[in-house]
Amino acid sequence: MGASKWLISLLLLSTLSACAVGNSPTEIKRIALLAPFEGRYREIGYDALYAARLALSDSQASHIELLAVDDGGSVSSATDRLLALQDDPLVTMVISLGYATAKAEKPLNTDAPLPLLIVGYWDAQPVDESTWILASAEIANRIMTEGDIAITDAAMIAESFTCADICALKQFAQLSANFDQTTVVSSALLPQQEFIERYQQSDQFAPPPGLLTTLTYDAMSIAIDASQTQSDRAQIQAYITETTFAGLNGEIRFTDGYWANAPLHEYIYDENGQLQTRDN
């Protein structure tokens, strides 16, 4: 779908929803998941989608909707999506994953900037006080590649190296002949068995959960909590900045736009191409 058609569809959806909300005593609030759902990196989007859905189901929130939006595969298209979401009054927060959304130009010249929570390391930086990175700022100092290296380029590296979340994608072991020489550093915990079972039982099409699914679950839980307890975007911004959250990945609070005291986990691949925790 072209950018213009996508924008028209989104605005039409917003208009219809607003009409429906006008007849309802409680206003619906939307949390948008902006990620790649097509192309090489669609694995990122679908892993995140089922994790966010699971968090929403567990919360039992009755007036929260999850709006999944494809980033379009480029920085310019992801920027268009952010602009459209900024203009949707029902969208309270955006959760994003992937290179395109991490580098998208967020609308800043507004009285009500859209709260944006970026899950994982995608070579992004907080651009304002309503943008937070759910990853350690130290990852940039630990990896041995360009911050925004393409997975196909990472897969061609022959020697041992340390990589960020991009090398944790399930396709990496299929693309690389030297996956067993790769160390992945991430702030995300590998999904535990209980989470894996609940994740895959949540939908017949749910894939085996990837590394960032637990972080996406935590991000969605934060967004739901903030959206339910705060009345507008400005209050949500203040709430997330000031609050400490308990998640599957531990204590989460933000300082200067980053996850403060975020953990750093190291993973390696076994002979079957499965990620496992490195024994220290």
Give the model confidence (pLDDT) of 149-201 as tens digits: 999 999 999 999 999 999 999 999 999 999 999 999 999 999 999 999 999 99
Task: Note the pLDDT of residue 14.
Answer: 40
Q: What does the pLDDT average to over 4-25?
A: 40
The pTM (predicted TM-score) of the whole model is: 0.90
Q: How many CB atoms lie under 10 A from the CB of residue 7? A: 16
Weakest mean pLDDT among 20-29, 85-94, 212-221, 233-242: 20-29
Q: In angstroms, rounded to a whole number, what is the distance separating the alpha carbons of residues 112 and 110?
A: 5
Task: Note the pLDDT of residue 7.
Answer: 41
- Torsion angle in degrees (nearest 10) through CA of 189, 71, 115, 66: -80
Task: Note the pLDDT of residue 267.
Answer: 98
Q: What does the pLDDT average to over 36-65?
A: 97
Q: In angstroms, rounded to a whole number, what is the distance separating the alpha carbons of residues 117 and 254?
A: 11
Task: Note the pLDDT of residue 280.
Answer: 52
